Structure 1
Amino acid sequence: MSVQLDSQARQLAREAAQWLARQDAGELDADGALQLQHWRARSAAHEALWQKAEQLRQRFSQVPPPIGLSCLDRPDRQRRKLLGQALALGAVAPLAWVAYRQLPMTRWGADLATATGERRGVELAGGGRVQLNTASAVNIAFEAGRPRLHLLRGEIAVDSVGPLQVQTRDGRILAGAGSFCVREGEQDCEVSALRGALRLLPRQGGETVLESGQRARLSAHQVQGVEAFDPQMPSWQQGVLIVQAQPLGHFLRELDRYRPGVLRWQPSLERLAVTGTFALDDTDRILALLAASLPLRVQYHTRYWVSLSARSAVA
C-alpha cells in the first residue's frame, strides 16, 4: 500500500471512530444522524468501515472502570462528552488497523476481493476459474475475448482453459491451458506452475519459461530462484497448511495472514519447529494445537489480540 493510500485509510478510520464516539455519547441529534447517514452513503468504503467499526466496538471500546464510575456518579452532558472523547481515542487505533488490514484500500475498487481469513473462487467467462486467497484483490478484463487479470494484492490460483494473462506489479504472466498460482510479496511475486507451462515477463527483463512443477520469483528486473516442487501437495486452495519441521516463526507469519487481529510471540519461540497439517478455517484451533504440542502458551487479550509465550514465562 502506498503512503497516500495508507493515509487515506487512517483518515477514514479516524472519521469512523469520531462518528461512533459521538453516537455512543448521545451527541447525535436529528441533523447529526442525517449527517452520519450521508457520511456512510459517500462510498462503499465508508459503509464497510462503519459496519466493521460497530462490530469491533464491543471488543475494543470497553470503558475503563474509573471512567465508567465517574460517568455514573455525574451523568451530565459534559461527562458524556469526555466519555465520547475517551472512546474515540480508544477506537482510532483498532479502526486504523482495520482500515489497513481488514479493509485495505485496494479492495474497495477491485472487481473481486477477500477479507483476512476469507477465500473465494469465481468462474471466468468463457471457461476457467480464479480463486482468491486471504486478503487478496484482483481486477478482471477481457482483451480480444481473452481474460486478463490484474493482481492488486495477495494471492490467486488460476485454472485456465486457453490463453490468459496476469498482470502484477513486477511484470506479466502468460498462460495457456493449465493451472498456476501467483502470490505478491513485498519485493517480488512467487509464481508456481501446477499444470502447463508459463511465460514470465519482468517489466524490465527478458522472458523466462516456467515448466509444470516449477516455481520461481518474478521481480521487476528478472526471474530467479527457479526450483521444482510437488504440485500435488494440498495447499491453501484445499484450505490447509502443511509443514514439515518448519521454524515456528515462519509458520506464525504465514498463519498471521489468515487471522484477523494482532498475533504476537516471544522471539525465543522462533527456533521451535512445527510439523503437521492444519485447517485454515479455524485458526484458534491451530493455536490450541501448537500449545498442546509445543512448550508455549496462548493468551487471548481479546478475540483479536493474541500473544504466544514460552510456557515457563509469563505472557
Structure 2
Amino acid sequence: MSVGGAVSEQARLLAREAAQWLALQDAGELSAEQAAELGRWRQRSAAHEALWQKAEGLRRRFAEVPAPLAVACLDRPDPGRRRLLGQALAVGGLLPLAWLGYRQLPVASWRADLRTATGERRGLTLPDGTRLQLNTASAVNLDFAQGRHRLQLVQGEIAVDGSGPVQVEVEQGLLQAWGAAFCVRLDGGRCEVAVSRGQLDVQPLAGATMRLRAGQRLSFGVTGAHASETFDVQLPGWQQGLLLADNQPLGQLLRELRRYRPGLLRWDPALERLRVTGTFQLDDTDRIFALLAASLPLQVHYRTRYWVSLAPRQLAG
C-alpha cells in the first residue's frame, strides 16, 4: 500500500527513472553528457533530489543485499520526508525496480524456490520425474511434501511436461493436469495456459472450471476465462530458445523481446506497425536488433549496453 493512497503513474515513473539512473551510474557507463543530464534530472524538483539521495543511501547501506530487497526499502521514508516524496515511495511502484545487472525480481520472486533472471532460461527434473522449464524472469515455489505434486507460479512463465498428476497454483486460480505437457504464463492480472499434450482443468478462483486439451489455449482471470482457441503445437517457442514472428507488428515483437533483455529497450512509435517475419535466437538479442535493422527501415542506437533505442532510418540526402 502506498503512502496516502493509490500509486499514481507519475510516481511510478519517477521511481523507475531514479532506479535507471542509479543503475547506469553503478555500471560506470555514464558519459559526460549523461552525467549532465542526470544532474538536470536531480534539479527538476525537491522530490527528484530526495528520492535520489534515498536511493544512493540505500545502495551504500545494502551493498551486499540483492537489489530487489534494497529497492523495496525505498518505501520506508522518514516521517519528515513523506510529504515531499508522497506516492513516489510506494511499494507497488518500487518493488519491480531492481537496478540493472541484477536479477530484477520483486521480493516474493527472490525468495522463491526456483527463479531465473531477465534473459535466463532454466530446465530441471522434479522429484516426481516431471520436467520443468522456467522462462525469463520467472519464479516458482515447489510443494512435494506428503505426496503432493504442486507448483506455485509466482512470476513469469513455465513449461511443464509430466507423466502423472501435477497442480499449478497461480494468483488467478488452480490448474490440474494428468500426464500433460503445457505452458503457463502470468501476464498482468491474467494467466495464459496452452496445452501441447494431454489435458488439464482450469479452475478460476471464482468461475466455472474449463477443460483444455492438446492444441488448445486460453487466458483467464480470477472471475473466469475467455473462450479457448487452437494453436499449432508443432511450432517451436521459447523452450527451444526461439522467438517466432509471422507477419507480426514490430511493436508486438519488441514488447515480447523486452522480456528477455535487461535494461531499457525503447522505440519510436512510428515503428509500431512495421511488419516482421522471422525466427530469432533469444540468446543473442543484439543479433536480433541487427537483423531487424538489416530488413526494416530502422536504426539501432546503443546509449549503453543496457539502454537501447530504435528509430526510423534517416534517408541520405
TM-score, normalising length: structure 2? 0.71
Task: Name the structure 1 match of 2:132.
Answer: 130
Match of residue 282, structure 2, among 280, 283, 291: 280
Kindly indicate whether the alpha-carbon contact (under 8 Å) linking 1:99 and 1:105 is maintained by their aligned counterparts in 2: no
Equivalent residue letter for 1:130: L
Q: Distance in 2 between the 1:281 and 1:116 partners?
A: 11
Kindly indicate whether the alpha-carbon contact (under 8 Å) linking 1:59 and 1:302 is maintained by their aligned counterparts in 2: no
Q: 1:65 to 1:191 in 2, by over 3 A?
A: closer
Shift of 1:187: 2.5
Q: 1:65 to 1:175 in 2, by over 3 A?
A: closer
Deviations 1:72-97 (A, max 9, x none): xxxxxxxxxxxxx8x949x89xx954
Task: Name the structure 1 match of 2:224.
Answer: 222
Report the structure number with the largest CA radius of gyration.
Answer: 1
TM-score, normalising length: structure 1? 0.72
Match of residue 307, structure 1, among 306, 309, 312: 309
Task: Name the structure 2 match of 1:291.
Answer: 293
Shift of 1:223: 1.5
Q: Distance in 2 between the 1:193 and 1:186 partners?
A: 20
Kindly indicate whether the alpha-carbon contact (under 8 Å) linking 1:118 and 1:134 is maintained by their aligned counterparts in 2: yes
Shift of 1:56: 6.8
Unpaired segments ≥5 residues, structure 1: 18-52, 68-84
Match of residue 169, structure 1, among 162, 168, 171: 171
Shift of 1:150: 0.3
Unpaired segments ≥5 residues, structure 2: 37-52, 61-69, 72-96
Q: Distance in 2 between the 1:128 and 1:301 partners?
A: 43
Equivalent residue letter for 2:130: G
Q: Distance in 1 between the 2:35 and 2:171 partners?
A: 50
Task: Name the structure 1 match of 2:121.
Answer: 119
Task: Name the structure 1 match of 2:94.
Answer: none
SS of alignment partner, residue 226 of structure 2 = strand
Aligned residues: percent identity? 51
1:57 and 2:22 are equivalent in the alignment: no
Match of residue 154, structure 1, among 146, 153, 156: 156
RMSD between aligned alpha carbons?
3.2
Question: Which structure has more helix as a fraction of its residues?
Answer: 1
Q: 1:59 to 1:225 in 2, by over 3 A?
A: farther
Deviations 1:216-255 (A, max 9, x none): 0121111213100011110000000011000000000000
Q: 1:174 to 1:307 in 2, by over 3 A?
A: same
Equivalent residue letter for 1:98: A
